[in-house]
Chain A
Amino acid sequence: MCGQAVKEKQETQDKQDIQERARTLTFEILRYNPQVKGETPKMKTYQVKEAPGMTIFIALNEIREYQDPSLQFDFVCRAGICGSCGMVINGAPGLACRTLTANYPDGVIKLLPLPGFELIGDLSVNTGKVFRAMSERVESWIHDKHADNVDLDKLEETMDPDTADEIYELERCVECGVCLAACATKRMRDDFLGAAGFMRLARYAVDPRDKRSDEEFYDIIGDDDGVFGCMTLLGCEDYCPKDLPHQTRIAYLRRKMAFAKRS
């Protein structure tokens, strides 16, 4: 046998060994399609042979392809970047695409859709609608009358490099909805803006290009549906997949708003 063939044989053997040693995982998944009349929510169980490096993304696709083609879920980037795949994994909200099945020693993984969002079906929820509304509510854009009349031929306005970095730090939110699902206040009061909205506003508040005054920010979040409604239970901070500094930013906005009100 030539070198290549020996090598391929070895690789096949390795794969077989891995397969033989593999665990069988049990997935318990909430199934409900509101589009189908008469359907009611129920938990369904599926078994999947674990593979090395297996993520919940890989496992769910296997279930869909080989066991139940009606299973609904949302993945786009499958790399923890786009925020599509928030779900409740064994009680904790998180991004399913980058969650390894190996993290669960007993091999039982229970999946529920993110609470607090309109259910599209099974594990798929309508986050898009909520985040568009959030963006409209906090007016998630640069407020500057001149932004559309900038002379594009000329040098851009300079910005302090640290300021640029700071804005980016706060802009890393991927709108996955995990913070809202983990928020006790939000669960009680639907109109509560929630951490993602605060973070968005904090991002514009540090951006010198946005000319809004503190009073204008106050008008958006200076009430009980805004920062003053937060009960500081900080589920947002605990579960945010991007490790955004929710706690310090909410505190910062509160101080800023308290001040804006007084002035």
Chain B
Amino acid sequence: MKIIYTDSLVIGGGLAGLRVAIASKQRGYDTIVLSQIPAKRSHSAAAQGGMQASLGACIKGEGDNEDVHFADTVKGSDWGCDQDVARMFVNTAPKAIRQLCAWGVPWSRVRKGDRQVIINGEKVTITEKNEAHGLISSRDFGGTKKWRTCYTSDGTGHTMLYAMDNKAIQLDIPVHERKEAIALIQEEGVCYGAIVRDLVTGDLIAYMAKATTIATGGYGRLYAVSTNAVISEGIGAAIALETGVAPLGNMEAVQFHPTAIVPVGILTTEGCRGDGGLLLDKDGHRFMPEYEPEKKELASRDVVSRRMTEHMRKGKGVSSPYGDHLWLDITLLGREHIEKNLREVKEICDYFLGIDAAEEYIPVRPTQHYSMGGIRTKHTGESTELAGLFSAGEAACWDMHGFNRLGGNSVAETVVAGMIVGEYVADYCKENCLNVSTKTVDRAMKKQENMIADLINRDAGENPFELKKEMQQIMMDKVGIFRNGDDLTKAVDELKVLNRRAKNIALRNRISSSNPELVEAIRVPKMIKLAQCVAYGAQLRTESRGAHAREDYPERNDRDWLNRTLATWKEEDADLPEMNYEPLDVMKMEMPPASRGYGVDNIVPHPDTEKRVEEIETVKQENPDADRFEIQEVINPIDIPAKFTGRNERVGRGFK
């Protein structure tokens, strides 16, 4: 048996994984990163729009700070997030962006003086301050009070990932490419690494580690059409689920992005609307102001996606052989702006639609985009149930996004979580030794060997590509933007059947080395289990919160549902996950539940909400001289690695 030992094993070479690896390596621990693909090709590279951090250098970001970012994030989550974590996040984001700046990201900078921008469909001149000249600039994004999204043209993720991977190369961190973790090694509630398949030779290797971090990105490809990379299949989350111990959190919280191109589902960034682009219907009419008079096109993502769907249901969509769509108009931004700040968008329209986005409208429709759910962790990033297993980035439910994440908050999460969780991973490496019986490793290895042998030896059975297609269609049709009890019940039942069928996959190409059909056969049963967590969670959650919108339960029900869904798969042969719920404690919230300010208010209040509002008021009255930091310290004290506790400086304001 081939065994490789390390201190810190990081599964995933995207932004989150690389940042965790850098942290543990810098603390002196032997670190290995595993990735299905070369690290720089990870899906993080596709983020175009930007990263949120409250630097407040650009004039439209004036007055921004951690508190404003916190409020936007909590509201955006529809109060479903973990407010401690959201707090840790907003306080650290400015540091993360400044560190990336030192590591080489060429962030777009503020240029002093006048410039023309488009706001609410009108040309407006804004004047940038002299003293902000050359600092990191920011643009407008949905659901944010200030212009807070920092960017490099529209290649933000690309430049962040390149800087991060280059840093990892500088630190001599090995990235083992074309390797896929297919199971975790665990004994009595502790994780000791993973069983990994070499995608070229087909060899199985046991990677043994003190700490194992899963940073494998989202599970968008459970859906037939998604903006995600084709490898965003949730395998990291699935192998955690398959331990039977580690729970997944809020899997039903799936985000749909308003503007993916039709039919292929490639994203055009929110930056299009942030920079002034408009949504139009078949009559060329701008409809969003009628639904959301205040934020219009820049309401939170989940809201815009639902409004678009509603509008199409009223017959206002543009017909096409691929179903209805709407238009995204960026022509009003002018060619110069588009060719500089929205170039990727222009390229995509050019290559995939054969249109010139500076002259023509772009056909768009809401499309699966982001997975809020994932491996449930504590604020340290460690699994709540399986010691030694950590998770960061889109794969995790660290839970700063609750039921809807804001644009620009995700790449920000990857690097901030990477910094913070990386420190806790290093602490764990320091405090623990690799103490596992060889029997356990043997058993874990044997199990995977047998699974693969069964696949190769089975003469007849199910086609993995077919099963995947069926699963993806069920998710599209029945677990989409708007959900209802009947469809969800059907989805849960149909997925159960697929789960059973997936136990009987047979291959046409019966070799164990590099073999795409075998890869599929190993992944599909895992993906079906995840799909079951999503569908079953959605069926049970009889309320609407953030991206989880139930037509039969339109109210946000804080009284009964202010909690986090936890899915575990205890018995291997079970045909459904076990669901539990972790309450969110209103009495600990820095920001007690309130309205998000979209559409009509439709909230069943939590009995503690009023009490907590009063309590916070009292704290403020009793401490009339306290500044915002001191107040936060009292109402939401957080535990954060000492290196990241300093206050953040802003131009013109110092450290206030």
Contacts and interface: CB of A to CB of B under 8 A. Distances in A.
A64 interface: yes
Given A76-B231, A135-B166, A150 B99 contact: yes
Contacts of B133: 158, 161
Contacts of B229: 76-78, 82
Contacts of B101: 156-157
The dominant DSSP class at the A interface is loop
B321 A14 contact: yes
Nearest to A33: B514
Contact of B200 (A14, A120, A144): A120
Interface in B468-519: 507-509, 511, 513-517
Interface in B231-255: 231
A19 to B, nearest CB: 10
A53 B264 contact: yes
Interface residues of A, number: 72
Contact of B169 (A55, A121, A135, A158): A135
Given A53-B352, A78-B266, A84-B37, A147 B102 contact: yes
A165 B108 contact: yes
Interface stretch (B151-159, B556-564, B624-632): B151-159
A98 interface: yes
Interface in B137-177: 137, 152-153, 155, 158-159, 162, 165-167, 169-170, 175, 177
Interface stretch (B380-388, B541-549, B646-654): B646-654
A75 B40 CA distance: 13
A128 B177 contact: yes
B111 interface: yes
Interface in A126-162: 127-129, 131-132, 135-136, 139-142, 144, 147-148, 150, 152-161
Contact of A140 (B153, B169, B178, B515): B169
Given A82-B45, A168-B159, A131 B507 contact: no
A11 B43 contact: no
Interface residues of B, number: 86
A70 B201 contact: no
A142 to B, nearest CB: 5
A23 interface: no
A249 B260 CA distance: 35
A52 B267 CA distance: 19
A52 B321 contact: yes
B98 A171 contact: no
B651 A155 contact: yes
A18 B321 CA distance: 9
A84 B41 contact: yes
A175 interface: yes
B166 A141 contact: yes
Contacts of A258: none
B516 to A, nearest CB: 6
B106 A171 contact: yes
A148 B231 CA distance: 33
Contacts of B649: 153-155
Nearest to B353: A53
A141 B170 contact: yes
A35 B321 contact: no
Given A141-B104, A164-B108, A3 B465 contact: no
A175 B158 contact: no
Interface of B: 26, 37-38, 40-43, 45-46, 94-99, 101-104, 106-111, 133-137, 152-153, 155, 158-159, 162, 165-167, 169-170, 175, 177-178, 200-202, 229-231, 263-264, 266-267, 315, 319-321, 323, 340, 344, 347-348, 351-354, 465, 507-509, 511, 513-517, 520, 644, 646-651, 655
30 contacts: A14-B321, A35-B200, A35-B513, A53-B353, A65-B465, A69-B516, A70-B517, A77-B230, A82-B42, A120-B200, A135-B165, A135-B166, A136-B169, A141-B169, A142-B102, A154-B649, A155-B651, A156-B136, A158-B109, A158-B134, A160-B134, A164-B106, A165-B106, A165-B108, A165-B340, A168-B159, A171-B106, A171-B159, A172-B155, A210-B104
Interface of A: 3, 7, 10-11, 14-15, 18, 33, 35-36, 52-53, 55, 64-65, 68-72, 74-84, 98, 100, 120-121, 124, 127-129, 131-132, 135-136, 139-142, 144, 147-148, 150, 152-161, 164-165, 167-168, 171-172, 174-175, 207, 209-210
In order of increasing CB-CB distance, the 5 nearest A-B pairs are A158-B134, A128-B38, A69-B517, A152-B95, A167-B106
